[in-house]
Structure 1
């Protein structure tokens, strides 16, 4: 696996921090991750521009789910925006809207969409399928509150990164199997789609980047211990019996990512089922570094590809074709 040379000096301290966090309790690990994310702003990640505002809310179901709603400030001439229901990464065990704050805020600003970032329940305190239940509840809430949010309920995307990409793909399956709500797009960033951890890209990473493979293998293993069965399509979407009638999908993954094969297989399965799908593989990108837009030109391209995919949901944008070309 080829790693972008600019990442090499950055990965060493990150890997050391990850290794150190393994020995501490999960609450402290989550706090350390938030602190680490704060420290990246301006050097690795980009601060949110003033063109977007955000507010923390809760859904109104039987189990209220905390959410962070990002809304672009500029006028849309009374046209309701598209929306993105977004699940953060963190191996279903860590992460929060705080750890993806800059990414989600910049997506809202640059794509001119409303982004709803979900603070879903985490393992081990909340076994599977608590996190999936929460993202399902948020999708329902967004549809029911579309008027207040000024979003078009027919143009709601679901998305996420890594574990969040897993939840987004599982949500698309669940919505299809249970009669909705309708989803306009799956935006899947380096998603974990097969809990078996057995693929060519896993083999490559175990050989070339052992610490990364060990970290992700450990994370997926904990999800399995929390009740996620690799044979359950809502836990391991690539095990679905059918991929027909799923929403269009745009997948992004790094070349140096053990989850690369997941995206390739999912794109192939969707395409074979007649679902519109596009896949981009970014050279040199290592799992977890796709948002380092201040450091990597490829990460900036990644962000622009996400923006283009989301803008394709806006019919008033004449420049959009609905398909993103090449990395």
Structure 2
């Protein structure tokens, strides 16, 4: 049963036909742009500065759009959050999770870097993973300019972004790259096989449906996929030892619930520290419903997990330094 305070929001959830990602993308982009233009989160925007820039991908030099959020009152050096938005690898941009990014930056005092990775089906796997890994590597390489402690970098994502955060964590381990101090996986999409109980019972819920998942994997992997790599679907990883600590959040009524829980249990069995939290009465994307106490509880818990990981990984923050970057703003 849906939590009573989420009932109204559940009925108002838009349903998109992800068979046509272009149309869904345009609608979501217009909504995000409207909210940003109206400064819907003015109080947070007054507390956090942000700028849109492009960075080069170290692999091929291709430019990746990012948004850098810097709390106005935070001390340095501070931690950093590398964030990947959701949208089934098909939709989403730098505006779609603007509220969460503002809130996390303000509440944690960390610099947050949101990555506008390439979308499918125009850019299938591994394009999004390449961009997200490039963004993570750039934050590590730019730690001094960003005034952040490289030991206190969190990699985080929601839905498809949770997949990308898990994939970046696997890539770092497998290529000897210094890991994040926490991988934060918020109702992540991890398994292209779609065989879990929740995937077969919660087929038509608010926020995300089984048919949306089918379109997601078809667009992301393409029609000719034969052997899905673990960096595309981390649930296929046979060895998850040596990965960074994880916070995994799921929602009871989400078709993606069980694959995320299974992945968290695999991490635990491999000796990886894991905080696993399932929210009863909640659906996919519930935690940005402003009117719900359950949503606020979930967001507060996310902030606690980030702060805890950074405190355990880093050193105390000295006072009085303002973070700056040498990057140029993207021309309009």
- The TM-score by the shorter chain falls in which range? 0.7 to 0.9
Higher relative contact order (CA 8 A, sep 6+): 2
Q: Where does residue 240 of structure 2 map in the other structure?
A: 243
Q: Between Structure 1 and Structure 2, how many residues are aligned?
A: 307
**Deviating more after overlay: 265-274 vs 215-224:** 215-224
1:255 to 252, 257, 262: 252
Q: Which position in structure 2 is the counterpart of 1:60?
A: 56
Residue from 182, 186, 191 that aligns with 2:188: 191
TM-score, structure 2 length as denominator? 0.85
The alpha-carbon deviation at position 226 of structure 1 amounts to 6.5
1:254–1:146 Cα change, 3 Å: same
Aligned equivalents of 2:114 and 2:144: distance in 1? 18
> Could you tell which deviates more after superposition, 234-243 or 308-317?
308-317
The alignment yields a C-alpha RMSD, in angstroms, of 2.4
Q: For each residue in 1:153-192, what CA deviation from the matched residue of structure 2 results, as whole angstroms up to 9, or x when unmatched?
A: 1111111000000011011001100111321110110001
- Cα separation, partners in 2 of 1:229 and 1:64, compared to 1, 3 Å: farther
Q: CA deviation at 1:205?
A: 0.2
Match in the other structure for 2:29: 34
The residue number in structure 2 matching 1:322 is none
Could you list the runs of 5+ residues in structure 1 that have no partner in the other structure?
Answer: 319-327
| Secondary structure of residue in 2 paired with 1:97 | coil
The alpha-carbon deviation at position 208 of structure 1 amounts to 6.6
1:89-238 mapped onto 2 (5 Å cutoff): 89-206=86-203, 212-225=209-222, 231-238=228-235
Runs (5+) with no aligned partner, structure 2:
318-332
The answer to whether the 8 Å contact 2:79/2:149 transfers is yes
**For 1:74 and 1:259, how far apart are their aligned partners in 2?**
37
Question: 1:297, CA displacement in angstroms?
Answer: 1.0
Counterpart in the other structure of 1:10: 9
Deviation at 1:223, TM superposition (A): 1.9
1:228, 1:240 → 2: CA distance?
A: 17
Q: Which digits, 9 at most, give the CA deviation of each residue in 1:227-276, with x for residues without a partner?
A: 76674110110111201100000011111111111221111111111111
